[in-house]
A and B are shown apart, each in its own frame.
Chain A
Amino acid sequence: NAGVTQTPKFQVLKTGQSMTLQCAQDMNHNSMYWYRQDPGMGLRLIYYSASEGTTDKGEVPNGYNVSRLNKREFSLRLESAAPSQTSVYFCASGDSRNSPLHFGNGTRLTVT
């Protein structure tokens, strides 16, 4: 019963490097989300995908791109990492407006 799986768990990047955070869910959910969590800021929505083939910007999309590869997978890409992107990134999935989101265990990213 894996739920939402994120990889990697930890990553250190140098400024300007690129990387892709992976997320997969096995609950057959239509909607998937990427959030970032910073101290004192709560969880902020970066991008979301309401269904396979669609993506939309959230509150803080600048510096990120996403791909909804199929119904199970939703990846987040940093093309040119910046220290301001140091954060913990959470992927989540959900099925309907009447059910809660399920979160992965997060990716802790440090950009030096």
Chain B
Amino acid sequence: EDKVVQSPLSLVVHEGDTVTLNCSYEVTNFRSLLWYKQEKKAPTFLFMLTSSGIEKKSGRLSSILDKKELFSILNITATQTGDSAVYLCAVDPPGGGADGLTFGKGTHLIIQP
């Protein structure tokens, strides 16, 4: 049973479109929710969200967390071909140790020129 569910699993849009990627989770009382972008190699960090309702922004990307409804979204406006990647959502579960992140399966985003 998946604890972190991302949707859609794949998405194809045209350059300039706005996209919304979804992440829902079953883990309660987690410390943080993170978004990563993965192109060919290592996942690279985008956002860490710890508080509900506070939007994080970086250029054309933004993300928000809803702890009550147990989901997060990642928005990308004015998409570019360089945004094509797999976007990973991960939750830092409760517990006292550094026991790793729980990842969703990712959304494969393709931006067509």
Interface residues of A (CB under 8 A from B): 4, 30-31, 33, 35, 40-45, 48, 50-51, 56, 58, 90, 94, 96-106
Contact with A90, one of B34, B43, B48, B92 (Cβ below 8 angstroms): B43
Q: CB-CB contacts of B86-105 with A at 8 A, as 1s and 0s?
A: 00101010000111111111
Alpha-carbon separation in the docked complex, A101 to B48 (Å): 10
CB-based nearest B residue for A103:
B42
CB<8 Å pairs between A and B, sample of 22: A33-B100, A35-B100, A40-B105, A42-B88, A42-B104, A43-B43, A43-B103, A45-B101, A45-B102, A48-B100, A50-B98, A56-B97, A90-B43, A96-B98, A97-B98, A98-B31, A98-B48, A98-B50, A100-B45, A101-B101, A103-B44, A104-B42
With A and B bound together, what is the CA distance between A104 and B44 in angstroms? Answer: 10
- Determine whether the beta carbon of B43 is less than 8 Å from that of A56: no
> What interface size band does chain B fall in?
20 to 34
Which residue of B34, B42, B90, B99 is within 8 Å of A48 (Cβ)?
B99
Residue of B nearest to A44 (CB): B103
A81 to B7, CA, bound (A): 34
Alpha-carbon distance between A30 and B102 when the two chains are bound, in angstroms: 19
Contacts of B42 in A (CB 8 A): 4, 90, 103-106
Residues of the B chain whose Cβ atoms lie less than 8 Å from the Cβ of A104: 42
List chain A residues, Cβ under 8 A from B41: 105-106
Interfacial chain B residues near A51, Cβ < 8 Å = 98
CB of B32 closer than 8 Å to a CB of A: yes
Establish whether residues A98 and B98, one from each chain, have CB atoms under 8 Å apart when the complex forms: no
Whole-angstrom CA separation of A43 from B6 in the bound complex: 13
CB distance B32 to A97 under 8 Å?
Answer: yes
Q: A56 to chain B: closest CB distance in Å?
A: 7
Shortest CB–CB separation between residue A5 and chain B, in angstroms? 11
